Amino acid sequence: MLTASSAKINLFLEVCAKLPDNYHQVNTVLSSIDLFDSLSYEPNSTGRIELTCNLPELSNRNNLVWRVARYLQQQYQVNLGVNIHLDKHIPLAAGLGGGSSNAANCLMALNELWALHLSSSELNTIAARFGSDINFFLIGGTALGESRGEIITLLPYLEIDHILLVNPHILIPASQAYGLVKLPLSHELRSFDPHNLPESCFNRLEPGIRRAFPAIDDIILSLQQRGADIAMMSGSGSTCFGVFTNTDQILTCRDYFNSLGYWTWIAKTIPPTHH
């Protein structure tokens, strides 16, 4: 069984408050994009969960994919094992949700492969145990994430082409990104209007990161100078993205960042895959 696991960008991310469990209450708009990892699943009769990956450092039991598989196997007393191979293309710890997407993919694939017959509400409950973005990837498309990000409401699909992703190979732990936020007073909270795209695109984590990591500031300024209508950081970083209307500008801009040795990808949003 071969499957595709998409990345996401955040078009909007407001941090509303700090929760008692040290997580943050957020209000975010996420959109799936056509950058994919691929995962293959092969049942085995040994009862073992084997995970291999093209990045050897991810072939271990700390990987969310392995942890989700093991949880399902124990929780639902599955006698079968599974051989999982993960082909990673989405950059790591990059604000693109790669690990969360892989975990959601594993949940859905094993639900089918092991015939667990879990309902979407059961899948959502399990997803929320393992992380905040996983619930989004159970549906994809364009959606609002609330609470820690795990309460998902599907929004009308926003079709956006010519998105340039730029990653400067900096790892920014989410905890550090959130730690740099100066929490807004309640009257300063921003909201998202899909009919007013460039103006309402916003990321509360961005100012602190731009101060702490000058490379991120440079990328966003360079995207703006090179014609991007929207230029911002995705999630907790370090990937930034620019949305262009002009095809020549996006290609010129990509060449510029490639010359700096940065990772780049030209993407578009994709509609929801699961309902």
Q: Which residues contact 250 (CB under 8 A, 6 or more apart)?
A: 162, 164, 242, 244, 266
Can you list the alpha helix ranges (DSSP code H) found in 157-260? 174-179, 197-200, 206-212, 214-225, 247-259
Q: Which residue has the tokens 């911002």?
A: 232
Q: Of these residues, 18, 37, 87, 133, which one is catalytic?
A: 133
Could you give the CA distance from residue 140 to residue 240 in angstroms, rounded to a whole number? 20
Cα end-to-end distance, the chain, whole Å: 20
Three-class HEC string of 81-125:
EEEEEEECCCCCCCCCCHHHHHHHHHHHHHHHHCCCCCCHHHHHH
- Tell me if residue 8 is catalytic: yes
Active site residues per annotation: 8, 133
